[in-house]
Structure 1
Amino acid sequence: MELTLDTEKFEELQKVFIAEITETVMVKLVEAGLEGQQLEDATASIGFSIASILDDTTRIEADGVVVKPYLTFRGNDDELIHCGENSYTYEFMMGVMKKLFHS
């Protein structure tokens, strides 16, 4: 497996990734009966929490094991695309929320 540093492609992929996660959360909350401001607030809270975990800004530890995620995306069968640092999906959440609830 080859690690490919491609910040532009990585940014594009992480935008799509966090948007899909957040939209899926929203759909499941709608199915659970949430609507209006409650739906928007819950979607934002869960989406921002997931982004923080992915971006390694939330400490993850269980039974003394510390987990430090590093996001990559599969380019082709033998390529992983990364940006050379932690992901920054959190930065796209405002745009994702605006698109889902205010467009």
Structure 2
Amino acid sequence: MKVVSTGSFDDLQQALTAEFIRAIKAELEKVDTPDDLVEQLTGSIAFAVTSVLDDVAGFEADGRPVSPTLTFQTSDETLEGAGGNSWMHEYVYRLLPAAFERSS
């Protein structure tokens, strides 16, 4: 496998962020919770998860620093990468409203 940068990494990480939001929202909607609380919790949880993946705060495993690096498999032999950390957490609150659009 080879890691490349074709310029689609940002679009892919936004799509993954939107999928995290959708999945978290779906799980929270399974419990009897007011809509505004579901939206607030969805944003908070998605932001926390993406921040860990983006290595915003850093963490350690077995006393050693670990820095996750996000890649996407775009073909059988190609991984799309950014060459460093992702920045999905920056998109959570921009993408959140679309997940909660309600029909009038």
**TM-score, normalization by structure 2:** 0.88
Matches of 2:87 and 2:57, distance apart in 1: 12
Partner residue, 2:24: 25
Summarize deviations over 1:11-53 as a string: whole Å, max 9, x none. 1111111100111001001113223211111101100001101
User: Is there any run of 5+ residues in structure 1 with no aligned partner, and where?
Assistant: none
* Percentage of identical aligned residues: 31
**Which moved further from structure 2: 16-25 or 81-90?**
81-90
Structure-2 separation of matches of 1:61 and 1:32: 33
CA distance in 2, matches of 1:60, 1:31: 31
Question: What 5-or-longer segments of structure 2 have no aligned partner?
Answer: none
When the two structures are superposed, what TM-score results if normalisation uses the length of structure 1?
A: 0.89
* Alpha-carbon RMSD: 1.5
Aligned residues: 102
SS in 2 for 1:61: strand
The CA distance in 1 between the partners of 2:92 and 2:27, in whole Å, is 18
- Structure with bigger helix share is 1
Structure 2 partner of 1:36: 35
